[in-house]
Chain A
Amino acid sequence: MALLQLERVKKIYGKGDIKVEALRGIDLEIGTGEFSTVFGPSGSGKTTLLNLIGALDKPTEGKVYLNGSSTGEMTKNKLAMLRRENIGFIFQDFNLIPVLTAFENVEFALKIASRNGQPSGERTREILEMVGLGDMMHRRPGELSGGQKQRVAIARALVKAPKLILADEPTANLDSETSKGILEIMGRMNKELNTTFIFSTHDPMVMEYARRLLEIRDGKITRDERRE
Chain B
Amino acid sequence: MDLARMAWRNLKRNKVRTLIAILAITTVVVIVVFSRGLMVGFTESTFRMYIDNFFGHVRITDEEYELREALLPLDYTLDGFDGRGAEEMIGEIEGLDEVKYTLPRIRFGALHSRNDQLVRMIGVGVDIQREKTQGGLPGNVSQGRMPEQENEILVGKGLLNELDAELDDRVTLMFSDSLQSLRGKTFSIVGVKETGVAGLDDSFFYLPIETARDMLWMEDELTEILVFATNPEKLDNFQENLNSFLSDRGGDRFSTLAWNKADPFVEVYYEINQIFDLVYVLFIIMGAAVVIITLTMIIRERTSEIGMMAALGLKGREIMKVFVLEGTFMGVIGSFLGVVIGGLITFYYSREGLYVESFAELSTDLELIVHPVFYLAFNFENLALSFILGSLIVALACVYPAYRAAKMEPVDALNYAEE
Contact = CB atoms under 8 A, between A and B. Distances in A.
Contacts of B2: 111
Interface in A79-99: 80-85, 87, 89, 91, 93, 95, 97-99
23 contacts: A51-B414, A54-B311, A56-B307, A56-B311, A56-B410, A57-B410, A77-B316, A81-B313, A82-B313, A83-B310, A89-B311, A91-B414, A93-B304, A93-B417, A97-B6, A97-B305, A97-B308, A99-B10, A99-B12, A100-B1, A100-B6, A111-B1, A113-B313
A100 B310 CA distance: 17
Given A57-B411, A108-B6, A83 B12 contact: no
B313 A100 contact: no
A91 B305 CA distance: 11
Of B13, B305, B410, B417, which is in contact with the most chain A CB atoms at under 10 Å from its CB?
Answer: B410
Nearest to A76: B316
A123 to B, nearest CB: 14
Interface size on A, as a range, is 20 to 34
A87 to B, nearest CB: 8
Given A56-B410, A95-B305, A109 B9 contact: no
List the 3 closest pairs (A to B, CB-CB), nearest first.
A84-B313, A99-B9, A95-B308
B304 A80 contact: no
Contacts, number: 72
A112 B417 CA distance: 24
Contacts of A112: 312-314
Given A91-B414, A99-B12, A80 B6 contact: no
Nearest to A91: B308
Interface in B318-334: none
B409 interface: yes
B253 interface: no
Contacts of B314: 80, 84, 112
A34 interface: no
Contacts of A91: 308, 414
Interface of B: 1-2, 6, 9-10, 12-13, 304-305, 307-308, 310-316, 409-411, 414-415, 417
B13 A98 contact: yes
A112 B6 CA distance: 13
A91 B411 CA distance: 12
A12 to B, nearest CB: 14
B386 to A, nearest CB: 30
A81 B312 CA distance: 9
Nearest to A80: B315
Contacts of B409: 57
Interface in A98-132: 98-100, 104, 107-109, 111-113
A51 B315 contact: no
B182 to A, nearest CB: 88
A89 B411 contact: no
A82 B310 CA distance: 11
Nearest to A140: B9
Contacts of B315: 76-77, 80-81
Contacts of B10: 99
A108 B13 contact: no
B309 to A, nearest CB: 8
Given A97-B305, A99-B6, A83 B312 contact: yes
Nearest to A162: B313
Nearest to B317: A77
Given A56-B411, A57-B409, A109 B304 contact: no
